[in-house]
């Protein structure tokens, strides 16, 4: 049961890394330093004052950077592999009472996977905001992401089971949104590549004179 709760904590923090990389690391560091979270063996450094200061500084810089036009989209691209690594680390740090091999395997699959999925959701959301509002709505998206990272990381420490349920919902929403996005994109490409097809009136207009003569 303790290992399962630890996994719920780790996966919740990992998913929060998909919103903002350093927010969950800061929450984990503060929780460990104040005695509210027991870290796995070998991860005690996360709860040190030096780590709290480092994660706090990085969190502030990351949050502010997402309010800079154009930089936010560039950060989404660069943040994906870092978020996966961070998600794997926080999950491994939260899960104890198991062999290192099993711990890191779970951390890579569950933690890294959760971070990658949520990061994909933020990327699609910001892309849609940039396309539809010319970037004017991106600060709102950035604020929502920072708030979601803080909330999910906090729930992960205090209400890990509820937080894990939220992560499952986020994964479902992300996969569904990604499927719809790529399906629409594929349909658009196929439509553009079909000569003589009037999409609006659903009529076929012959482009070959010989075909036109046959029809007449």
Residue range 78-101: mean pLDDT, rounded:
93
What is the reported pLDDT for 129? 92
Residue range 54-69: mean pLDDT, rounded:
96
Residues 187-216 as b or e (16 or more Cβ within 10 Å = b) = eeeeeeeeeeeeeeeeeeeeeeeeeeeeee
Residues 47-58 as b or e (16 or more Cβ within 10 Å = b) = beeebbeebeeb
What is the reported pLDDT for 192? 56
Cβ atoms 46, 39 nearer than 8 A: yes
Residue pLDDT, tens place only, 162-195: 999 999 998 888 888 777 767 777 766 655 555 5
How is the chain split into domains, by residue range?
A: 2-197
3-class SS of residue 203:
strand
Handedness of CA 104, 29, 117, 72 (dihedral sign): negative
Q: How many CB atoms lie within 10 A of CB 181?
A: 13
What is the reported pLDDT for 195? 53
């Amino acid at each position: 049961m303790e290992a399962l709760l630890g996994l719920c904590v780790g996966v919740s923090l990992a998913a929060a890394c998909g919103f903002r990389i350093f927010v969950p690391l800061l929450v984990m560091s503060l929780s460990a330093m104040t005695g509210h979270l027991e870290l796995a063996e070998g991860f005690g450094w996360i709860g040190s004052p030096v780590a709290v200061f480092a994660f706090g500084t990085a969190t502030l810089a990351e949050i502010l950077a997402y309010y800079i036009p154009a930089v936010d989209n560039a950060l989404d691209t660069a943040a994906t592999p870092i978020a996966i690594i961070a998600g794997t680390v926080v999950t491994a740090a939260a899960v104890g009472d198991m062999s290192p091999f099993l711990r890191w395997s779970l951390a890579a699959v569950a933690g890294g996977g959760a971070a990658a999925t949520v990061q994909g959701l933020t990327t699609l959301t910001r892309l849609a905001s940039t396309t539809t509002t010319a970037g004017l709505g991106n600060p709102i998206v950035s604020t929502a992401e920072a708030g979601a990272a803080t909330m999910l990381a906090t729930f992960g420490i205090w209400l890990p089971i509820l937080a894990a349920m939220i992560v499952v919902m986020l994964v479902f929403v992300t996969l569904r949104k990604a499927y719809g996005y790529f399906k629409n994109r594929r349909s658009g490409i196929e439509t553009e590549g079909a000569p003589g097809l009037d999409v609006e009136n659903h009529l076929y207009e012959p482009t070959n004179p010989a075909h036109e003569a046959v029809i007449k």
